[in-house]
Amino acid sequence: MALPSGSSSSGPRRSPLTRLFPAARATIASPLPPEEVWRRLLGPNAQEWQIGESRRYTVRPRPNGPILDIDGPYGAKKIGLTTEATVHAVAGGTSLALTSWMSSMPLLLMTVGLLCLTLVPLVLRFSVSVPPLVLLVVLYGAGLISLKSEAYLIKHSCASCLGEDPRRV
C-alpha cells in the first residue's frame, strides 16, 4: 500500500510567528512497517468516524494524555487543534513525527499579557515596579524550557505506545 500523495518529508513551512512561538516536536524511528506503527499508535481504543472521503480518528496515546486528532490512513498528516502526527515509510522501517502546539499557547498568551502590562501603564501614565520587559524575557525563557519537557514526554509516551524502549529513543 503506497503512502498518500499529500504526505511529504519536508514538513510544513514555518512562518515568523511559529519561529517565535515554537511547538514541542518529537521524532521516533521504528523498525516496524508503517501499517503496524499506525495501528499501534491508534490503539484498540481509537474511535473512528467517516467524514466524506476521509476517515478520522481520536487517539489518546497515554492515560490522561493529550488527545490526537488524526485524519486519513497511515502516512496522512492532519493538523488538528493542537497536534500534528505524521507516519512516513523510510529505509529500514518507519519514522513517526509528532508535534504538539498546545505548549506554544502559554507562550503566546504570556507574551500578549505582558505586552498589555507594558502598554496599559504607558497609556494610563502610572509606573510598574518590575520592568515588564524583564518579566517578558523570564517568562518566555521558562516557556521555552517547558517546550523541551513537553517534547520529551511526547517522545517517550509514543515510544512506549509502539513497544520501543523509551530510554533508547
Other CB atoms within a 10 A radius of the CB of residue 103 amount to 24
- Residue 21 grid cell: 512561538
pLDDT, tens digit (0-9, with 9 covering 90-100), for 48-98: 554 555 555 555 544 554 445 454 444 333 434 455 666 777 777 777 777
Q: Which helix (H) or strand (E) holds 16?
A: helix 16-20
Cβ–Cβ < 8 Å for 83, 100 = yes
Instruction: State the amino acid at position 34 in one-letter form.
Output: P
Q: Which domains does the chain have, with CATH numbers?
A: 23-104+138-164 (3.30.310)
Q: What is the pTM of this model?
A: 0.44
Output the pLDDT for position 141: 74
In percent, the amount of the chain with pLDDT more than 70 equals 24
What is the Cα–Cα distance from 5 to 17, expressed in whole angstroms?
28
Lowest mean pLDDT among 12-21, 35-44, 147-156: 12-21
